[in-house]
Amino acid sequence: MSRSSALSAALLCSVLLSAMADSRAEDGPQYRDPKSQSLGRTGVASSQGGTALYLNPAALGREEGGGMGLSMDLGLNSVLLDYAAWASDNRQYLDNMDSLLARIGPVDNKWAPFSQSLLLYGNWQGVAFSALVDTRYKVTVARAVLTPVLGVGALSDVVLTAGKGFRADYGYRFGFALKYIHRSRFEDRLIGATDDPFYTAKKALENPDDGWSGTFAKLGVAGEIAESSQGAGLNLGAEKDLNQDWTAGLSLIDFPTIIDQAFTRPDINLGLSYHHGVQWMTDLENKVLVNLDWQRFLIPGTPWFKQLKMGAALEGYLNKRPVGYIGIGINDGYPTFGLRFGYLVYLSYVYVAEEVGTYPGQEKLSFHKIGLEAEF
Amino acid sequence: MMPRIRALRPPLTVAVMIRVVSAAAGLWLSGCNVFSPLAADADRDLNYRGLILKGNAAINDEQYADALYYFTRAKEMNPKGAEAYLYQSKALVSLYKIDYNTLNNEFNLRRGKTVNGLPPKSGLPFIDSITSLEGIDSIYYPVAQSVENLEHILRHKLDTILVPGGVNLYPDGDTAGDGRVTEGVARLDLGLLQTIKGMLGPLDLDGNNRIDAECGVNLCPNRDAACMSGARYMRNCKEGLLSEAVGFERFKNLTRSLDINNPSTKDIRARQLTANPNDINEFLDRMSGPIGSSTFNLDSVTGAMNSHNEGELSGQLSEIVSNVQDLSNFLSYMRFNDNLDNDFDSQDSSGKGVRMVWHDYDKDNSIHWDYDDDEVTLKGYLGAGANGEARNLGHPLHRRLHPELYVKFTDSSWTKRKTAQEASMNARKAAMIKRCQDVARTLTVDGLVTQQVIDDVIAATCLTYTSFIKSTVRPPAKSDWQRGTAGIDEEMIDDHDNDYDGLTDEDARNAPGMDDDNDALLNKTMIGADPAPMAWADAAGHGNSCPDIDVTVPMPPQPMQRKFCIGSLEHRIYLAQHGGSDTLKLYYSKFLGEGGDGNCLEDYRKLPQAYRDSARQESPTDKDFANAIEDACRFKHIWIRGIPSDSEWKSGVFGVDEEFPDGVDNDGDGWIDEDAK
């Protein structure tokens, strides 16, 4: 790269950063595949296949053959279960302030979250595409100052992504991903008696509970009152194999991404991955994977927007195809855990906790995610 | 010699290793942030979001003082953060144990209901005779601060919020405009809390959201004499540091009898607050701002509920809304005697007409239009019961039978008033129509009063004609109306809507020659002539500022010197002790359910302790004395025996201008100087 090209790139970066430098900006799509979540949401230097589009597109340059896959997961939280039990017993009091206030204690301002994601992807010779539906809903009943109000939050992204990775000399890889985003969003907030969404949410909560489907249908009200927007964006990435066991990665996610004529919050990710083959189990090829990632949101004046993540996994392969892994991690201080088993079709479980900090009443958000995946 | 470090270390046994690993695993599995213990001073370094999260966690743990600390810090850090304002209010009201049920129950108690086995109360919510300054401050402070916070959230666009009734919320600068709390969340709680702030706010003289014994310390933080004698300080705290404390004690007396179901100026006892009309009007202005705003907010909420068919929810608010509406309407006309048309019923819109003077000769609490007309226009209509009231000015049937006397709602004399565009005016019209229809429904089918007539009055007359008399109308020869302009200060202190305009005692006015307090011994022989004012003066040796019954008897020594004064409570007690009700009824008129007997008992408690101790000695037992007081208070102060021959009362009619502007309750009616001109 010539000196003038480097200067131009630096200038472009600074212009982009200044344009995006708004701490009130929304996040872009925050999808992570189950394995990344198991390992503390790491993977900047170890992602594979179509999921690399979201972590580091440079990883696509590593792919020689092709493949396709499907990943679905459903995230539940103990608060959701508590809340569902409470709502089942107390929904009839939503019309009576006295009674509701007397019973509101167990759920007061405790948000019940629910997540669901579906990813379909394919890749061939360094080119990849994916279609993603990633949804998070939240509902709560709370006391504002004196009277009860409802809380609703929704963030649902439909993301179509295509990208390409390149190999370069000296073990370098570069990549990019372009994405189209259709977003439905209702920013997490309390709503009260002069807000129309209050009545939509109230009616949904008043519906009789008929098991899990009924509970999810209630949470779905968040989607009904969400406002939709569209956008497009770019992810950039670079990777370098330091040696046979070590890989370093750098990605610029949402750099830039614009949704509804506003820049989303870009972030820079640095990752270091140790991957080493071992023979701990007979008949299986084993690999130890250790990741260390550092993420910084590129918003000046917001020093707290940085996260350190780490994770480790033991993977098993049979005839070069994965058959399972078990992994643990720490996501900016919060624990994660996951495991997956199968052949071509997999069942997975992930426990992930994270600092969300976008709504009150909750320091961390944790999910138990049950997943079904297929890889070909 | 170097110490053998290895030897000093405990052996790293398997058990120790298991414990270390277990502890680490436990921390990891707990779901806590394992990085947190690494932070040097996490609490000090919390950002705005962190403070909100910490505060909410504290609220969920019922650690309200901690929550308040975090939210106050969050407010300071991010003045635009709406959540900080909302949750600070939540922490405050929780800390001071104020909740929706408390509020609701207090209102219900004051509406004559029994709540949780507690008997109904009069007066304003949260204020009883035993309420301490600290007690009321513990209600007012969290409420006032919360109102300030919630108003701050609603003014998120630096807009001026227009509130019907001429009360506007102006932008207060750096508003909490981050949009994290919706209008719907803030408005209902704001409306509810404003009712309390409206009622107690006038006591917060220095505007620091506290009612305490340190008035104006926010104005003069150093408490230096120069500052505290300055105009700004004196304007707010006229009675020094204790201004709010003194004001609160006075306020307790002022409002103890107020019935928010049926507010009356007599109950509010405004003139015991101060002799300065401006003080009272200023006091009322400070009440009416938050009350008007509360009405607006609660109306918005109930309107939204109704439009979404949430009748059950809006129904639960309706009583509070109704209370606030009552109070709001009440305040709009509850003004001191300022010679202005405070209740919008003056025939002269300039408010400079000649005051109406009338005497209630037939003692029906209404203004009999024309005694001669009873057998002419009204013949056949004046049946028994409620139909007989049709003879009175303003009565719905009288409006129908004498439409030529009354102003229509479409007449310019109604619509041209500058207040016609204001909500209070609309409320005034609504009150008038409601009162008219309510009265009309009491009519019974009798004589010429058919069901069709009653229906027409309700459906047509009440919606067409005001209760106001046209300015061109003059009083007939034989009428309760003596002179002056009808509608100007026509009301007496009698708890009655004398002119059927939907208001009770809105004016409580005095004028020369009036029977100001409805205690005159009028009779029909006096119709058409002003009754002579009562003339009396203290005789030598009887300087007790009240009309003695018999100057030939030496005046009793202190503290019993009022024992033989006409109308005095001390005299009624004396009669009760020595003759009982049979004797009392020979001299005084009995209460007939007007409700004043409760005031009488309060008046007794105001009598000097020395008197009460001495009077007690004239009854055999405490119980007998208590019975005597109860008996005495079953009778009004109104003397019914004519002029005693040896009394200080020389001429005139008892009750007509008997008062002197001397600051003394001369006739024992519990009112001081109602006539002071």
Task: Please tell me if residue A147 touches chain B, with a CB cutoff of 8 Å.
Answer: yes
pLDDT band at A20 (very low <50, low <70, confident <90, very high): low
pLDDT in tens, B565-600: 888 889 999 999 999 989 999 998 887 655 555 567
pLDDT in tens, B329-380: 666 545 443 333 333 343 333 445 566 677 777 767 678 899 999 999 999 9
**Does residue B61 surpass a pLDDT of 80?**
yes
Q: How far is B60 from chain A (nearest CA, A)?
A: 7
| Cβ count within 10 A of residue B15 | 9
Instruction: Tell which wins on pLDDT, B140 or A223.
Output: B140
Share of chain B above pLDDT 70, in %: 68
Q: How far is B144 from chain A (nearest CA, A)?
A: 13
- Which residue from B35, B47, B181 is facing A189, i.e. has the nearest CB? B181
Residues 194-223 of A with CB under 8 A from B: 194-196, 198-199, 202
Q: How far is A154 from chain B (nearest CA, A)?
A: 14
Mean pLDDT of B15-21: 59
Q: Indicate yes or no: CB of B184 within 8 angstroms of CB of A334.
A: no
Q: Indicate yes or no: CB of B60 within 8 angstroms of CB of A190.
A: no
| Cβ count within 10 A of residue B220 | 20
pLDDT band at B35 (very low <50, low <70, confident <90, very high): low
Task: Please tell me if residue A109 touches chain B, with a CB cutoff of 8 Å.
Answer: yes
Task: Please tell me if residue A105 touches chain B, with a CB cutoff of 8 Å.
Answer: no
**Which of A194, A306, A363, A364 to mutate to test binding with chain B, by most B CBs within 10 Å of its CB?**
A194
**Which of A145, A310, A336 to mutate to test binding with chain B, by most B CBs within 10 Å of its CB?**
A145
**Pairwise CA distance, residues B529 & B536, whole Å:** 21
Cα separation of the two ends of chain A: 38
Q: Is B535 exposed, middle or buried (0-12, 13-18, 19+ CB in 10 A)?
A: middle
Q: How far is A189 from chain B (nearest CA, A)?
A: 6
Chain A hits for B150, CB-CB cut-off 8 Å, are 145
Beta-sheet pairing, A306-318 with A321-331? antiparallel
Chain B residue whose CA is closest to A367: B31
Q: Indicate yes or no: CB of A96 within 8 angstroms of CB of B59.
A: no
Give the predicted TM-score (pTM) of the model: 0.63
Q: How far is A230 from chain B (nearest CA, A)?
A: 22
Question: What are the backbone angles phi and psi of residue B13, rounded to the nearest 5°?
Answer: -80, 170
pLDDT band at A60 (very low <50, low <70, confident <90, very high): very high
Q: Is B582 exposed, middle or buried (0-12, 13-18, 19+ CB in 10 A)?
A: exposed
Write down the mean pLDDT value for chain A.
84
Q: Indicate yes or no: CB of A193 within 8 angstroms of CB of B305.
A: yes
**Residue in the block written with tokens 């614009």:** A258
pLDDT band at B25 (very low <50, low <70, confident <90, very high): low
B639-677 as b/e, with b when 16 or more CB fall inside 10 Å? beeebbeebbbeebbbbbbbbeeeeebbbbbbbbbbbee
- Which residue from A102, A335, A357 is facing B28, i.e. has the nearest CB? A335
Mean pLDDT of B199-212: 89
| Cβ count within 10 A of residue B97 | 11
Instruction: Tell which wins on pLDDT, B272 or B644.
Output: B644
What's residue B247's pLDDT? 85
SS (H, E, C) chain A: CCHHHHHHHHHHHHHHHHHHCCCCCCECCCCCCHHHHHCCCCCCCCCCHHHHHHHCHHHHHHCCCEEEEEEEEEEECHHHHHHHHHHHHHHHHHHCHHHHHHHCHHHCCCCEEEEEEEEEEEEECCEEEEEEEEEEEEEEEEECCCCEEEEEEEEEEEEEEEEEEEECHHHEEEEEEEEEEEEEEEEEEEECCCCHHHHHHHHHHHCCCCCHHHHHHHHCHHHHCCEEEEEEEEEEEEEEECCCCEEEEEEEECCCEEECCEECECEEEEEEEEEEEECCCCCCEEEEEEEEEEEEECCCCCCCCEEEEEEEEEEEEECCEEEEEEEEEEECCEEEEEEEEEECEEEEEEEEEECCCCCCCCCCEEEEEEEEEEEC
Chains A, B: CB contacts within 8 A come to: 138
What's residue B16's pLDDT? 57
Helix (H, G, I), strand (E, B) or coil at B593: coil
Q: Indicate yes or no: CB of B100 within 8 angstroms of CB of A191.
A: no
Cis peptide before B512 (omega within 30 of 0): no
Q: Indicate yes or no: CB of B60 within 8 angstroms of CB of A108.
A: yes
pLDDT in tens, A108-156: 878 888 889 999 999 888 899 999 999 988 888 888 999 988 888 888 9
Chain B hits for A193, CB-CB cut-off 8 Å, are 184, 187-188, 301, 304-305, 313
What's residue B552's pLDDT? 92
What's residue B21's pLDDT? 60
Share of chain B above pLDDT 90, in %: 23
Chain B hits for A363, CB-CB cut-off 8 Å, are 33, 53, 57
Q: How far is B74 from chain A (nearest CA, A)?
A: 13
Chain B hits for A192, CB-CB cut-off 8 Å, are 182-188
What's residue A173's pLDDT? 94
pLDDT band at B515 (very low <50, low <70, confident <90, very high): very low
pLDDT band at B27 (very low <50, low <70, confident <90, very high): low
Helix (H, G, I), strand (E, B) or coil at A32: coil
Q: In sequence order, which residues have a C-beta less than 8 Å from that of residue A216 and are 6 or more positions away?
A: A114
Task: Please tell me if residue A332 touches chain B, with a CB cutoff of 8 Å.
Answer: yes
- Which residue from A101, A192, A357 is facing B100, i.e. has the nearest CB? A101
Chain A hits for B185, CB-CB cut-off 8 Å, are 144, 149, 190-192, 195
Q: H/E element holding A129?
A: strand A127-143
- Which residue from B101, B180, B185 is facing A192, i.e. has the nearest CB? B185
Q: Indicate yes or no: CB of A195 within 8 angstroms of CB of B31.
A: no
Beta-sheet pairing, A246-253 with A172-191? unpaired
What's residue A71's pLDDT? 93
Task: Please tell me if residue A38 touches chain B, with a CB cutoff of 8 Å.
Answer: no
Task: Please tell me if residue A39 touches chain B, with a CB cutoff of 8 Å.
Answer: no
Q: Indicate yes or no: CB of A360 within 8 angstroms of CB of B146.
A: no
Chain B residue whose CA is closest to A102: B101
What's residue B42's pLDDT? 57
What's residue B670's pLDDT? 45
pLDDT band at B178 (very low <50, low <70, confident <90, very high): confident
**Does residue B393 surpass a pLDDT of 70?**
yes
Chain A residue whose CA is closest to B90: A145
Q: How far is B130 from chain A (nearest CA, A)?
A: 26
Highest mean pLDDT among A37-46, A305-314, B515-524, B580-589: A37-46
Chain B hits for A110, CB-CB cut-off 8 Å, are 60
pLDDT in tens, B250-279: 778 767 777 766 665 555 555 555 555 456
Largest CA distance in chain A: 72
